């Protein structure tokens, strides 16, 4: 595991964008696993800037999103389909048929999960998987207790996750109770994983993910077993680590 520490969210986002952009330039047909939520937005904005300035192209890139709420149609304003369109896809030159997000209104969720895995396999597997991390250590919608061996599947969202996401909805009752998510094995199958985290509220989960017991009760801890995983963090997210951050930029290996 490699650990990159930047001063703040902006520089963390820039570092993540630089790393991924360099890989896209080297391998134009890169397969990217994408995440939603506030954490990757800074990186997405940097990608958009690079595309608009002619320094980067997603024309041959294929993307797979981690998850989608079960029960929300693609055009629902809080669906992850809508999120990705508004925050990234409509601003870059990615081809619509090269973007993949689970179908939240599928009549057969189990079949949809199997089809999603088939599509990932057909694309050659995910080259770089982008992740955030929840305060309880969840990655994607893999909540504490999820099987490390699970592929894409349906999950019931914990109340803590629903409450954390309720700010995007009119009321808590509107937050879906289930989602389709790539499983922990799906994530571990990626050739490289980049986990982004910012803010002191993530520091405990980050510390346990990097240095705690590898346990299904903290899903992100499985990343300790990945052969090519990079944590890209701001200083606040590593406030639990006993290191001097006055130098501004750190690289550590665990």
Pure H helices in 88-130: 109-122
In angstroms, the CA 134 to CA 201 distance is: 9
Q: What's the CA angle centered on 122, arms 119 and 125, to 5 degrees?
A: 90
Name the strand (E) or helix (H) holding 201.
none
- Active-site residue, from 143, 216, 234, 235: 143
Whether 20 contacts 32, CB under 8 Å: yes
Give the Å distances, CA to CA, from 249 to 11, 42, 94, 252.
10, 18, 32, 10
| Catalytic position from the list 138, 153, 226, 234 | 138
143 labelled catalytic? yes
Catalytic site includes residue 67: yes
Q: Give the Cβ contact number of residue 225 at 10 Å.
A: 11
* DSSP code for 158: P
- Active-site position among 6, 67, 68, 235: 67
Q: Assess whether 97 carries a catalytic annotation.
A: no
Distance (Å, rounded) from C-alpha 18 to C-alpha 165? Answer: 29
Quick check: is 138 catalytic? yes
User: Which residue among 65, 103, 136, 142 is the active-site one?
Assistant: 136
Which residues are designated catalytic?
67, 136, 138, 143
């Amino acid at each position: 595991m490699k650990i990159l520490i930047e001063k703040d969210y902006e520089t963390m986002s820039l570092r993540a964008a630089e790393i991924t952009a360099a890989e896209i330039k080297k391998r134009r047909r890169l397969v990217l696993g994408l995440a939603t939520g506030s954490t990757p937005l800074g990186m997405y904005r940097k990608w958009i800037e690079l595309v608009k300035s002619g320094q980067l192209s997603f024309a041959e890139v294929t993307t797979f999103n981690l998850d989608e709420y079960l029960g929300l149609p693609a055009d629902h304003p809080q669906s992850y389909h809508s999120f990705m369109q508004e925050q990234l896809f409509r601003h870059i030159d990615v081809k619509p048929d090269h973007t993949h997000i689970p179908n939240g209104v599928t009549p057969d969720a189990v079949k949809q999960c199997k089809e999603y895995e088939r599509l990932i396999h057909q694309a050659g597997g995910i080259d770089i998987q982008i992740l955030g991390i929840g305060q309880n250590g969840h990655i994607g919608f893999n909540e504490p207790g999820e099987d490390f061996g699970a592929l894409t599947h349906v999950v019931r969202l914990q109340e803590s996750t629903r409450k954390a996401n309720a700010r995007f909805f009119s009321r808590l009752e509107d937050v879906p109770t289930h989602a389709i998510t790539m499983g922990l094995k799906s994530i571990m199958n990626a050739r490289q994983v980049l986990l982004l985290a910012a803010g002191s509220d993530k520091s405990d989960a980050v510390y346990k993910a990097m240095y705690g017991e590898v346990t299904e009760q903290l899903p992100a801890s499985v990343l300790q077993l990945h052969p090519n995983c990079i944590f890209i963090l701001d200083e606040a997210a590593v406030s639990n680590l006993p290191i001097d951050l006055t130098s501004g930029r750190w690289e550590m290996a665990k």
